[in-house]
Chain A
Amino acid sequence: MAGQQLLMTFPVTATSHGLAEYRARGGYTVLEDALHTRTPQEITQAVTAAGLQGRGGALFPTGRKWAVVVPGDGQPHYLVANADEGEPGTFKDRWILENAPHLLLEGMLLSAYALEARHCFIYIRGEFDLPYRRVAAAVEEAYEAGWLGEHIGGTGFACDILVYRGAGAYVAGEASGLLSSLEGKKSYPRNRPPRLTVRGLYQRPTVVNNVESLSNVAGIVAHGAAAFRAVGTQKSPGTRLISVSGHINRPGVYEVELGFPWRKFLEEDCGGVLGGRPLKAVVPGGISSKVLTGAETETLRLSHEDLWSAGSTLGSGGMIVVAEGTCMVRLLQIMLRFYHHESCGQCTPCRDGTGWMHRIIDRIVAGDGRPEDIERLYYIAKYNDGTTICGLGDAAGFAASGMLDKFRDEFDYYIAHKRSRCEGRIE
């Protein structure tokens, strides 16, 4: 147990995701109570006061995002749950979608009430099969029980939720790309301004929140902002779902109270590095966050501010553990192949830069690297940073520059000797 838990508060069984057991755990009482006794503004205030930060990776304060939407401005508002969890190493939303879909629905209904959104969408990753079936079944159950549709909880509040399946593009997980896809177009991200909360889906104010963020809303409304702030640290309240994968004895999804010591989490909760090897590196929050060496994780706590101070981020919570003996050159090759494959091709630096980086790293791995390739990779990373429409170009650059910063000697060795310093697979 890595500190206090807010979401994983029940034993997962074959039926624990259903409406009956969710009701038995006190489900939808928060919604019913809020619809009768709270105003939409009170819910927004609670979320703002709780200091909830977006759990999708950007860590943008949810309350500040909501505050842009003007209640009663005479136009429709939309709420979209971003369940297009595509960041490599991340599979934490999947846990919610599979095991607590009603928690997401209740959080969405509360948020829709706060944002005056009549129509909500769940944009779910196309590759997710069981999560999709669970969420779709939960929506059906909720309609039958009267928690969706007209007159929810006997009030005038009405809300519909549509579950939409993506078609397998990583950029569709970016909020504006998601909306383009939801509108039926190619999932090209959009330029800001305008912000999506001003002109989003169908050119209307739209809030796009991560599944985990929305799942936290019910708890915040039920117990108050102060109770939420009591968990976690001053600057990053609450808990995070962390999905741990890689060279680790017990991979899986863990709920971690923010501020929990990192090393302790890896050793005690996750059972330590596979085969008892030393920890070489950790990708802390999906491959778009900068890699940290094993030594750096010694002193850090799992909180947003600690990771930021180390020059990285807890991002989407996709933690990839890398044991000693892993070739970082080939690891970077895998990452860059991913970015090249997933770049949408809309804007120049990312479209051409990701492919260029991929071809360079392929050449290095094939033993044809040149000493100036390192500078070339840094050059591409530098001019991808901040020049693209969405963050994919930046992220590809971070992945490359992060690896090069921390493991430069391995790249130099590979280029000079035309082979890896770390031979063989480690299993």
Chain B
Amino acid sequence: MTEILINGQPVQARPDQTVLEAALAAGFYVPYFCWHPRLSIAGNCRMCLVEVEGRGLDIACNMPVTAGMRVLTDSEEVKAHRKAILQFITLNHPVDCGICDKAGECRLQDYYYTYNGERSKSVEPKLRSSKHHGLSDRIVLDNERCILCLRCTRFTHEVSKSKSLGVERRADASNIRAVEDGSLDRDPYSDNIIDLCPVGALQSRSFLYKARIWYLEPTPSVCPGCERGCTVQIWHRKAEWRLKALDPRQNTCIARVTPLENPAVNGAWICNKGRDLARIFERARAEHPMLKGKAVALDEAVQAARALIVAARRPAALVSNWGSNEELAAFKRHLGEMFATFVKIDAAPEPGERIADELLIRPDKNPNTACARALFGDGPPILPEGSDLVLVWGEGCDFATLPRGARIIFLNCYLRPENGHADVFVPLSTQTERRGHYTNFEGTVSEFQPCFSKPDSVADAAVLFEALAAPVQARP
């Protein structure tokens, strides 16, 4: 360890750290725009200027620690320069926070209030540039807001490796551009640059003008898009901001999904599929239990299912690898001994979807295959001949492949034609309505929490399994 002095206080730093890292780790805040712990050092925003006694000002992000160096992070000189840097950055930045999606979580906004807070010294008209440049099908760029920190270009070069962004022209006419038409469209990690952007220059088309972020709150969750199980934050309206004046769906929709930093699983990134969880969870919901296509009350459906189970002689079950660890364990505990149980693969890759790569995307497009296989084995889902009852949990099962004449209990979250073909259909709560854990392919367990409350007419799978098992145990 190397000892340096920051604002007169001794700080222990690793020799390979920069002054900025050492200062942040020791609790001395140094503002920065272009620096990011998971990207290379660009040193172009100049916001992290600090003073080293005897050496003058330099940027902390690119300054290696040397033993005994005396760093000042808020001397008068440093404060004056920070103020000037913010003056330069805001020179041509349209202060249109009122209509900017980033307002409320914008570094520039925060820093300007903290470190400058004065009127601009400039009387020149602001430079105009392109406002709604379509960088890809998912992202629009506002060049007037861009402060050219180059986090986005570095991300595409260093992390996603698509090398799809570059800088066009120079000086204050510089613009971020896709290197060729559609190059960013081909990057399945492109939306991370929206989070990386320290200002509101890069905007998500799906989130554009949808909500002010102070009406939203994040709930930690896990992306079910593949066996990586990236931890994410699902943003939805705060409970106190669910307004009657709004369409009910607006009050309970997924506004956006952002990564939840997690070094053990996904680092700071997620892929675009994870951004589109609404496409998975906001499909048309099945809300009514049914007996052969006839809507009934939940209780009635559970009783009917019980009766089928009691009557069956050779029951089999296909369990979902989208079930949480708790639900799978509940199935095993309550129904495992009665049923010949097989793990069903719920989701296959969609046409055009990237199958796998070195960064995050994994070939198995289901979140909890690891736990399901650990509990129920990894045999193929071939039901034994003569099964007279099949419990199908989750999607991805073609009823035509089930043994002829077998009764079917079907548990699913979404509106599907086969719901009506089952003898008993019980709708389940979705991942956004319950708490649970998934085990990813490396064995790392991550928790998801409920964002919304479930409709009364749908069942939580774990509760349902207990209810289905109760009478069987009572009657030996």
Contacts and interface: CB of A to CB of B under 8 A. Distances in A.
Contacts, number: 97
A351 B174 contact: yes
Contacts of A193: 62-64
B170 A344 contact: yes
Nearest to B47: A348
A421 B59 CA distance: 43
Nearest to A373: B123
Given A351-B172, A383-B84, A345 B148 contact: yes
Given A193-B62, A351-B172, A388-B46, A345 B167 contact: yes
Contact of B91 (A169, A346, A356, A388): A356
Contacts of B45: 347-348
Contact of B167 (A186, A191, A349): A186
Contact of B171 (A192, A345, A360, A388): A345
A349 B171 CA distance: 11
Contacts of A345: 148, 167, 169-174
A169 B62 CA distance: 25
A interface SS class: helix
Nearest to A355: B172
Contacts of A342: 170-171
Interface in A331-376: 340-349, 351-356, 359-360, 363, 370, 376
Interface string B73-112: 0000000110011011101100000000000000000000
A349 B43 CA distance: 12
A81 to B, nearest CB: 25
B124 A343 contact: no
Which of B63, B88, B92, B150 is the most central at the interface, judged by chain A CB atoms within 10 Å of its CB? Answer: B88
Interface in A231-288: none
Contacts of B43: 191, 347, 389
A165 B88 CA distance: 34
A412 to B, nearest CB: 18
Nearest to A186: B167
Contacts of B63: 193
Contact of B85 (A191, A349, A359, A379): A349
A356 B44 contact: no
A348 B46 contact: yes
Nearest to A341: B171
Given A193-B62, A379-B121, A386 B84 contact: no
A349 B148 CA distance: 12
A75 interface: no
Contacts of A353: 88
B264 interface: no
A351 B148 contact: yes
Interface string A166-178: 0001000000000
Contacts of A383: 80-81, 84-85, 87-88
Contacts of B166: 186
A387 interface: yes
A349 B81 CA distance: 10
A267 B89 CA distance: 47
A244 B405 CA distance: 101
Contacts of A388: 46
B57 to A, nearest CB: 6
B305 interface: no
B129 to A, nearest CB: 12
Contacts of A376: 121-122
Given A191-B59, A344-B171, A352 B124 contact: no
Contacts of B91: 352, 355-356
Interface string B115-148: 0000001111001000000000000000000011
Which of A341, A343, A345, A348 is the most central at the interface, judged by chain B CB atoms within 10 Å of its CB? Answer: A348
B396 interface: no
Contacts of B123: 370
Contacts of B147: 348
Interface string B4-23: 00000000000000000000
A387 B57 contact: yes
B85 A169 contact: no
A102 B289 CA distance: 91
A43 B441 CA distance: 61
A356 B122 contact: yes
B56 interface: yes
A355 B171 contact: yes
Given A344-B171, A352-B88, A379-B121, A387 B41 contact: no
B127 A348 contact: no
Contacts of A349: 46, 84-85, 88
B361 interface: no
Nearest to A344: B170
B202 interface: no
A272 to B, nearest CB: 39
B46 A379 contact: no
Contacts of B85: 348-349, 383, 387
B254 interface: no
Contact of B62 (A186, A191, A344, A379): A191
Contacts of A386: 56-57
A2 B123 CA distance: 49
B58 to A, nearest CB: 8
B4 to A, nearest CB: 16
B428 to A, nearest CB: 53
B49 interface: yes
Interface string B189-228: 0000000000000000000000000000000000000000
A359 B172 CA distance: 12
A273 B382 CA distance: 100
Interface in B28-60: 41, 43-47, 49, 56-57, 59
Contacts of B59: 191
Interface string A181-220: 0000010000111000000000000000000000000000
Given A348-B147, A376-B121, A388-B46, A355 B127 contact: yes
Which of A186, A352, A389 is the most central at the interface, judged by chain B CB atoms within 10 Å of its CB? Answer: A352
B124 A359 contact: yes
Contacts of B81: 383, 387
A192 B64 CA distance: 10
Nearest to A356: B91
Contacts of A340: 171-172
B442 to A, nearest CB: 33
Given A191-B59, A193-B64, A348-B85, A389 B44 contact: yes
A370 B121 CA distance: 13
4 A-B pairs with least C-beta separation: A383-B84, A345-B174, A343-B171, A191-B43
6 contacts: A348-B47, A348-B85, A348-B147, A355-B91, A379-B121, A387-B49
Given A348-B85, A351-B88, A388-B46, 16 more contacts: A169-B170, A340-B172, A345-B172, A346-B44, A346-B148, A347-B44, A348-B44, A348-B88, A349-B88, A351-B174, A352-B172, A354-B171, A355-B92, A356-B91, A379-B84, A387-B81
